[in-house]
Every structure is written in structure tokens, then in C-alpha cells.
Structure 1
């Protein structure tokens, strides 16, 4: 069973955490949500607060060695808060140093820039952060999903099926998702 860590805090883009989490769990993965504090974190949906998600562990309780991959949902507030936390940035660096898949969508590639791991890499993200990604040394493209080494990046909630499928493929989870999120057998 593959173990995936999601790091998020209040203001995460609701669909970018909940949809990949659901798809990964349905495919047999164990998904852990870590945040800065215990309790729950509240999502952002359609320009307003959305649903809450239970926090399984704080980032201080997480060890990179316990997981096969890291998933970073976007939303404007979520990564902006997280990139100011040294523990979060250190965890991202540890996953990168272990060459484990790091999947970041929307505004979450800000965290990759903050960790200093996109220099010379091809990445994508939400349009408003692309200059930041370029300034951090990334080669920025406008594609549904971009893979460079262990980094998987996508632009927005519309990219979630391809984003999640690409992470599953990187983890050799045995199935892929079509653009509409439907499962495609590995041998199809």
C-alpha cells in the first residue's frame, strides 16, 4: 500500500485536496493530512469558506521516511501561509532529497520555489505565480500537468484528474485516470 502525505492549512483550495485524496484512497493508498496545528482545517470554495478536513498529524509529527509521496494542494492562502513555516519547507526538501514524488497544484508550486528545488526544472502553476516560479529558476510552461524528475505540477482544479493520475503513475499504483476522472485499467 502506498502512503501519501498531504500538507495543507486553512484556505486550501477545497477540490485540490479533497478530490485527489478521494481518488488516491479509492485506488488503495493510505492518505495522511498534516497541518500546522491539530484539529481541522477549512477549505476555500467558490470565493468563500468551504468544508473542513480533519488533521491527522501536525507537520512536527511527520517523518518523510514514513511516506512514498507528498501532495501539496493550492489555494492562494494555504501555500502562502505554509511557505513561511521552516518545518514545512524542510519536509519538502527531504522528500526532494529522497527523490520521492512531490505533486503540487495551482498556487502550491510557491512551496517548491521557497524550498529552492525548481531551479532548472520545468514546472507549471496558477498564472499569478508563474513569474515567481521563473524567478526561482524554473522553466514555466502552461500545461495540464508537467513532470520533471520527481516534481509533478498542475495549474488549477480542472487539471485534478490528470494531476492525480500522474501521481498514481509515478507511484506505480496500477491504474490511470482519464481526463474526466474515470479509471482506465493499466493494460488499456
Structure 2
């Protein structure tokens, strides 16, 4: 059984991430003992969105295109409207999500970040949740959408909004402690 002290977790994001949805997991996963890296499109710092204006800047550790999936046990995808919308048109970002799923890694997406799961083609047939405004997108992509704090389906964790952050991070920690999640790769093609 893996422990948090040996866990390496990646947060993938770009400008416009919902401030709390990146900072809370970053802080609490580190507090739990994990090594947490932030990957951005260019490997440079990114600026968050805090409710109704630009927020804090978060430093990056590496470029998305330089990520080695085998180095990590989990991928965390913060939401906000801007961040996942920008990432879902980036080939490297979408491929990284797909690679984490096909390599039996934990993938956790909150708020609007499940747009990346849709774009990567990995949500069909899975129980999932998201911010309510993208429910139709989720259902059209084949997700079994539910209005719940957390939905988990074979190592893919989804959550609705910043109000669910504590449960979201707790579920990531629980799943990391469980280890790899072998899944049907046909769902991640």
C-alpha cells in the first residue's frame, strides 16, 4: 500500500484557474506528505482567478510537454471557467489526461475541469459530477452525471465546486493510499 510520503502528484493548470481549486489541493496534499508539482503550458508561473478578478500567481515546476506520466501516481485538474477551456484545445494537455487514465493513474477533476476528461475521451460510461453548468456537456459525452460532492469511478474522481474541496482532497488521499487503478483501456481511447 503506497503512503503519501512516497507519492508524487501532478497538478496541471494554466492561467485562469479557480484560485482555491489549485491552492487548496496543493497545500493539503503537501501537508499529507506528497510531493506535488505544477505543470503549465510553458513551464512558467500562472495567474489564478479569485471569484471576480485575477488572483494569486502560482509558480510552475515544469512544462506539460515535459511531464513523464510514470513519475506520478495522480493528476489533479483544477477548474474555473478559463483554465480548462484554454487547456482543452492544447494537444499536449489533452494527451496527458488520456495518458494518465490509460496508465492506471488517479485523475481528479473539479468544477469545469471535467471538460478535459470529455476532450480526452475518458468519461463515457463513468459515474461523474461537475459544476452544474457543464452537466449537459458531461451527459452528452456519455457520463453518468450525478449531483454529489464526490463521484468516483475506477480512480477517476470528480467534484462540483470549491465547496467540495475538502471532500475532493480527502478522496485523492484515500485513492493514492489504495494504489494503482487498473481500468478497461477501451474507455480511454
Global fold match (TM > 0.5): yes
Residue number in structure 2 paired with 1:80 = 85
Q: Residue 50 of structure 1: which of 41, 49, 55 is its match?
A: 55
Structure 2 unaligned regions, length at least 5:
1-5, 179-189
Residue number in structure 2 paired with 1:168 = 173
Shift of 1:13: 0.3
**Per-residue Cα deviation, 1:98-136 (whole angstroms, up to 9, x for no partner):** 111100000000000000001100100001111001000
Structure 1 unaligned regions, length at least 5:
174-188
Residue number in structure 1 paired with 2:136 = 131
Q: Cα RMSD (Å) of the superposition? A: 0.8
Instruction: Give the whole-Å Cα distance in 2 for the aligned partners of 1:69 and 1:79.
Output: 18
Shift of 1:39: 2.1
Superposed structure 1 runs of 4+ greater than 3 Å apart = none
TM-score after normalising by structure 2: 0.90
Instruction: Give the whole-Å Cα distance in 2 for the aligned partners of 1:38 and 1:23.
Output: 22
- Are 1:69 and 2:74 counterparts? yes
Instruction: Give the whole-Å Cα distance in 2 for the aligned partners of 1:149 and 1:67.
Output: 17
Q: Higher relative CO (CA 8 A, sep ≥ 6), structure 1 or 2?
A: 2
Q: Secondary structure at the match of 2:23?
A: helix
Instruction: Give the whole-Å Cα distance in 1 for the aligned partners of 2:94 and 2:47.
Output: 21
Q: How many residues align?
A: 173
